Structure 1
Amino acid sequence: MTVARSILLFVLAALAEIGGCWLIWQGWRESRGLWWIAAGVVALGAYGFVATLQPDANFGRILAAYGGIFVAGSLAWGMAVDKFRPDRWDIIGAAICLIGVAVIMYAPRATD
């Protein structure tokens, strides 16, 4: 159950961070206004809190692994929201990142 919880938290963090960045992008670059930017700032703040809920106590490990989730999640967001079409290198790169996440977060470790 810990792995499932961790993955869920990574997905929630990605939605908050990527969504927050997208809202700011829309507010500024697409001239949708300050409310979009404000919503993006709130979402980015939520991302910061969600990351603290991970069961692992090591900040560096959580953020390093989350980087791989961010890469894959950004491509998925682009596909779903902006109709971006990744090429095979995007997909291969994201797969490599997700393998890295699995190794960093879920590889068996000796307890101290």
Structure 2
Amino acid sequence: MQTLIVYPAAAVAEIAGCFAFWAWLRLDKSPLWVLPGLASLALFAWLLTFAEASMAGRAYAAYGGVYIVASLVWLWAVEGAVPDRWDLVGAAACLAGAGIILFGPRGA
């Protein structure tokens, strides 16, 4: 259950950190945007350590689906572009895959 809280929080931290660099390098914002961006990326990495997965690679793989959905929410909420049906279908497929990776039965 903790992972269901950690993944969305990590996604917001990662997207915000990456967007800070995007804003600096692509939107001609001040280089000072990098400072909160770095802090946000460090928070992202720290948050992922709380994922309830036995292996880091599995935690990261499952997180990928949540990241994709969060990126489309960011696209809509921050950048003002509404995701189209293909964005939504692709995100649903990725989220289903993340669920399989995270919650699938494992042998001993």
Same fold? TM cut 0.5 = yes
TM-score interval, smaller chain: over 0.9
TM-score (norm 1): 0.90
Q: Is the CA contact (8 Å cut-off) linking 1:24 and 1:38 kept in structure 2?
A: no
Which digits, 9 at most, give the CA deviation of each residue in 1:37-64, with x for residues without a partner? 1211111111111111112120110111
Unaligned runs of 5+ in 1: none
Partner residue, 1:65 = 62
TM-score (norm 2): 0.93
The more displaced of 68-77 and 27-36 is 27-36
Aligned residues: 108
Q: For residue 30 of structure 1, report the CA deviation from its aligned partner.
A: 1.3
Partner residue, 1:13 = 10
CA distance in 1, matches of 2:51, 2:76: 27
Q: Is the CA contact (8 Å cut-off) linking 2:68 and 2:91 kept in structure 1?
A: yes
2:37 alignment partner AA: G
Partner residue, 2:100 = 103
CA RMSD of the aligned region, Å? 1.1
- Percent same amino acid among aligned pairs? 36
2:106 alignment partner AA: R
CA distance in 2, matches of 1:34, 1:13: 23
CA distance in 1, matches of 2:51, 2:99: 14
Unaligned runs of 5+ in 2: none
